Structure 1
Amino acid sequence: MKSHLNIPDTCNPFTVCWPTMPLNSKTLALARKLSQHFPKFLVCQQNCHFDSRSVSSLSSRIRKRIKSNEQSDHSSEMEAATRTPRFVVSIEGNIGSGKTEMLNYYQKTQNCEIVPEPVEKWRNIQGYNALELMYENPERWGMALQTYIQLTMLQLHKLPQEKPVRLIERSIFSAKYCFVENLFRSGKMPEIEYLILTEWFEWIIKTQNIQLDLIVYLRTDPELLHERIMRRCRPEEKCIPLDYLKTLHQLHEDWLLHKKFPCPAEVLVIDGNSALEKMPESYEQHRNKIVNPLTY
């Protein structure tokens, strides 16, 4: 039915004009409902004419809207009540600390899904190995790689979670607080590039829901890390000096132990100095806290 409300030309198009007189229970109830369920509409007092048909028509539409909203709210509540709880764990540590081995160990855990670092993406951006370029010339390629890492890590965080527990290799937080900070503090990233990455990172953290419930820190001595890296002989890592690992180690310590940067979750520290083949003993010791946290 066509509304019989007369709206003056001077009124904002999002304003429903309300008469000063007469006021009765119907008009007051309708005004209340309009304000409550149509927040974009402002109810103002104007000398406007309306008849009972307009009140009846608007009231009918409002009742339908309220009923629809109540049903929608009820469905959302039921869905939330039956939704499986989710738990997200990031495995953090320096280069060579054993993150991949730890993920592989928990790979067969039934309630757990593994999300590895997207290293292959960094190695092949339409034929360009950005990881290798950064290690060879960090002053030139540090910003480019860290920009791409920030993007790909955000994509990992936003992947739909299919199982109750997710283990993710590193996080968008360590990318910023350890690796970007290292480039900047070592003088290999200009301040303007650092500020751009920082502003983008802060916007992501404020606007995106990045769930992280536990951080596992594989704490390993830099000297041992350097030995492991030399043994595994990855092409991109052949030029990594010990000093680079020492700086990264200190940044992990500053972030996860000394809390010099915001820490988004509880931290579980695991000594990573044992031989990799003996590390499963530590993984098993902390199994419940890491992969069975919902029943722990």
Structure 2
Amino acid sequence: MSSAKTICSGTRAISKKPFRVSIEGNIGSGKSTCIKFFEKYPYLEKHFEPLNEWRDVSGHNLLGLTYSDSQKWTFSFQHYIHLTRLKIQTSPPCNPNITVKMFERSVQNSRYCFIENAKKRGFLHDAEYQVLNTWYDFVEKNLDINLNLIVYLKTSPQVVWDRMMKRGRAEESEVPLDYLQQVHDAYENWIYSPTIGCEVITIDADKSLDNVKEDLERYSYKILGGNHTN
């Protein structure tokens, strides 16, 4: 998977806020492939999950540490994930012609999927859980993190576990099937909640890549903002 697109530094005025699309789904559901499908559009700015940042926090591989000892490292990892997702989600586009900003997972996903699942699994003490939630509540009230659309690549845990084993990322080698089931359940609880906050397009990502691409093409007008205005 590619690293995140460079975020512009500094501030500048832009006439329109880009249409924000979060590509959501379990590990191995095809999120980065989905983003690459739309990279042909010049007015779209894409952001993959910043894996390289998570693997090197001043020499510390937080991603690897969390997979190896979730009890010890989940709080630090989730705190840093919040920061990197927030930078991606709220930074202005690097090009004034950009009208769509597409990114792999969102700040909302971190809060309502992975933090909730970590608390449920006992990887976060209640004090740590409350710190992360208080941080998120402050951000939500004081910064514009709103999403315009979620594309949910829905998968079954067994399918994504098989895919994950085939791609062979070192940090994922010890991830059990039951963890993917729990992430799936957390996604379902969040995506289909009445407080999701934006429209959701659900795509069956258990299907072949060609079939998924056909669905992406079918929904492309809506995914790319349609008649969106700010």
1:160 aligns with 2:95: no
Task: Give RMSD over aligned pairs.
Answer: 1.7
Letter paired with 2:34: M
C-alpha distance in 1, partners of 2:106/2:225?
A: 20
Q: Which of 59, 64, 69 does residue 132 from structure 1 map onto? A: 64
* 1:107 counterpart residue number: 39
1:263 aligns with 2:189: no
Matches within 5 A, 1:223-242: 223-242=158-177
* 2:147 counterpart residue number: 212
TM-score normalised to structure 1 length = 0.69
- 1:42-93 Cα distance to aligned partner (Å, 9 max, x none): xxxxxxxxxxxxxxxxxxxxxxxxxxxxxxxxxxxxx99xx34631110011
C-alpha distance in 2, partners of 1:119/1:278?
A: 27
C-alpha distance in 1, partners of 2:140/2:104?
A: 18
- 1:130-178 Cα distance to aligned partner (Å, 9 max, x none): 0010011011000000010111111111211230111111000001111
C-alpha distance in 1, partners of 2:16/2:179?
A: 42
1:247 aligns with 2:210: no
TM superposition shift of 1:288: 0.6
Letter paired with 2:201: L
- 1:18-40 Cα distance to aligned partner (Å, 9 max, x none): xxxxxxxxxxxxxxxxxxxxxxx
* 2:80 counterpart residue number: 148
Secondary structure of residue in 1 paired with 2:226 = coil
Matches within 5 A, 1:1-296: 83-84=15-16, 86-161=18-93, 162=95, 163-259=98-194, 262-294=195-227
TM-score normalised to structure 2 length = 0.88
Identity of aligned residues (%): 36
Runs of 4+ in 1 over 4 A off after TM superposition: none
Q: 1:94 to 1:110 in 2, by over 3 A?
A: same
C-alpha distance in 2, partners of 1:175/1:87?
A: 20
Secondary structure of residue in 2 paired with 1:126 = coil
Structure 1 unaligned blocks of 5 or more: 1-78
The 8 Å contact of residues 90 and 171 in structure 1, kept in 2 or not, is answered as yes
C-alpha distance in 2, partners of 1:122/1:277?
A: 31
- 1:100-149 Cα distance to aligned partner (Å, 9 max, x none): 00001111112211111111100111221100100110110000000101
TM superposition shift of 1:294: 2.4
